[in-house]
Structure formats: structure tokens, C-alpha cells
Amino acid sequence: MRCVASRLHQLGELQNRVLIFLEGLCVTTVPLIRAGFAELLPKPELVHIRDVIYQAAGIFHPDNKLRLLLDGCGRRMSELRIASLQEYCDCLTVKSNRQEELVALLNEITIGETSFFRNQQQLDAFKSIVLPRIIQAKSPLPIRQLRIWSAGCSTGEEPYTLRMLLLEEAGPQLGGWNTEILATDLNQRSLAHAHEGIYGSHSTRNLAAIYRSKYFTPLGDKLQVNAQARSNVNFGRLNLSDDSRMTFMKNMDAIFCCNVLIYFDLASKRRVIQHFFNTLLPHGYLFLGRSESLYGVNDEFRLVHLPGATAYVRGDRPLTGGKLR
């Protein structure tokens, strides 16, 4: 082994194995531990914590993202003045307040990057194509109600954007309609921020002047969402991996779940998407983030191409003269 090792050209890691390259060719693989790289293996306590997070929230940290999880655990450990990862693992798994600690750790490790009007093309397609279709589909019904769900709303920029869009651009179309935007997230801290509704320059960088002046109040160098933009936006904590609570979500006309499922593995994505399928009304639309797709995840939803954006509709919906595509 030493003789081979001395002529190594390259080392790479593949599922806790070392790839041994000789003259550019991979000649064999050896477990990290046997190759003397035991310190590179994730600590068993960290792997256990990864499993706990995955079971609880569907979020999976592959080996190359374990650093993020370790950093989050580190922040909780200093808060709790705990010195060892094993002790912290016990806090999450055996101590009586383990559920609260799990919520606290989830607050630390979820990634909440967002901003107002984050995906303008998607919003344009929603406003000019999808919304009129939904209104048309629902117009024969006696109750004029529109329900939109921002699933994984982070600090609130997405649902407030949707609210402002409805107020500003869809006012005439929605006269006499009762509109509700339900905004949910796993992260309690993000939801508290969303309730407060105060945002700095990073979040508001894409806000057009009309929205700034009409729907915000200046607060020092920040902006606070005003009462009009808050109206009918309801925030709540919901874990998308909580199957029992997800089955209660019903009758949505549109779901925006953007940049959330990228942190999930295939199995947990499939479960969440199946819930979305059951939650959407027959004419409903599902929007994902720019880089996300349901390819290989679900074949009951059908991809719809809109100008500059895509969305998904329930595949059992009859085609209306090919108009949907």
C-alpha cells in the first residue's frame, strides 16, 4: 500500500472511500478508515443528527454539506453551553425537551435566502395567464374565493409580493373576490421576521418605486410592510414533511413552493409533491423555483410552459383545446 501510495497522482472521496489513481486511472478504492483517513469520516453522532433532521423535516445533508449541519449544531451547543457533540445528540434524541431542541436546531440550519419579486417572469406569467384562467374556472361558482399558498415562505417576502401583485395588478379582475394568502414555513425565527415585516436593502432590491411608495412605510434605513399589503396574508408554522398536518391542507388555487425542495431528497420530495397534488383544486397551479423540476419525482402533474416560466397542473385535468401548453 505504501509503495502504491507513493505513486498516487490524485485522491478523491466517494462515499467514504478513497479512490486511488495511478497514471490518471482509478485502479482501486479503499475505505477511508483503512487508508488512514479516519479523521475525514463524519462523526457517528453527526450522522445520527443528520438522520434525526431528515426524519423530522425531510431535509437531507449529503456528506459534502455536513459542515453546515455541524456549524448549526455548534451554535446550539454554545447557546446551551454543551461541550461535546455526543451530549448534544442526546439533547435531540433522549432528553425530555428533545422536541423543543429539534425546533431550535431547525431554526439554525434552514436556509432562508429570499427577496421581494424574486422571480419576475414567474410573477408576470402568474398575473397575466394563470390568474385569468383560475378566475374563469371559478366564475360559475357561487363563492368567489381565491386561495394561494406560499409553502416555505421564509421571512415573508414571497407572500407579501403575491399580495401586492394581487392588489396592484389584479384589482379589476378580482373585484368582489375574497383572496387569502396562506404563508407557511418550518423556521419560527423566519416567521417572526415575516410578522414584523421590516426589510433591509438586500430583500427590497427588486422593488419597483410604485410598490415601495404604496405598500411600505420607511423605518430608518429599512422598509416596513404596511397594513394594506399585510391584509389577508396569514402566516403559520408548518413542516412540509408532517404528513398528518399536510393532509389538512385543502382547496388551493395556486401553490408557490419555490427553492424549498432543493434541500430534500427524492423520497421526501415525492411525499410533499403528492400532498400538493391532493391540496390543489382541479384547475390549480403549482410553481417551483427556477432551477427545480418534477422530472423523475412525480408523473401525475403535467408541465405547462408559460412565457418565461413553467408551472405544473394536475395531469387529470382535461386539455382545453391545447391552450394549456
The yes or no reply on residue 186 touching ligand SAM (CB under 6 A) is yes
Q: Which residues contact 18 (CB under 8 A, 6 or more apart)?
A: 11, 12, 29, 30, 31, 32, 35, 37
The yes or no reply on residue 207 touching ligand SAM (CB under 6 A) is no
CB closer to ligand SAM, 110 vs 279: 110
Give the whole-angstrom CA distance, residue 255 versus residue 280. 8
Stretch that binds ligand SAM, among 86-94, 134-142, 255-263, 298-306 (CB under 6 A): 255-263
Of 154, 179, 203, 279, the residue at the interface with ligand SAM (CB under 6 A) is: 154
Smallest gap from residue 186 Cβ to ligand SAM (A): 4
Smallest gap from residue 103 Cβ to ligand SAM (A): 12
Site for ligand SAM in 260-289 (CB under 6 A): 260, 263, 289
CB closer to ligand SAM, 50 vs 118: 118
Strand ranges, E, within 62-214: 145-151, 178-185, 198-199
CB closer to ligand SAM, 41 vs 103: 103
Smallest gap from residue 122 Cβ to ligand SAM (A): 10
**How many Cβ atoms are within 10 Å of 286's Cβ, its own excluded?**
24
Of 58, 72, 197, 284, the residue at the interface with ligand SAM (CB under 6 A) is: 58
The yes or no reply on residue 203 touching ligand SAM (CB under 6 A) is no
Give the whole-angstrom CA distance, residue 111 versus residue 263. 9
Is residue 107 classed as helix, strand or coil in its secondary structure? Answer: helix
CB closer to ligand SAM, 154 vs 279: 154
Edge-to-edge strand ranges of the sheet holding 145-151: 233-237, 178-185, 145-151, 252-257, 280-288, 309-314, 301-306
The yes or no reply on residue 241 touching ligand SAM (CB under 6 A) is yes
Give the whole-angstrom CA distance, residue 319 versus residue 126. 19
Cell of 127: 398575473
Give the whole-angstrom CA distance, residue 71 versus residue 234. 32
**Residue ranges in contact with ligand SAM by CB under 6 A:** 57-59, 110-114, 118, 152-154, 158, 185-187, 190, 239-241, 258-260, 263, 289
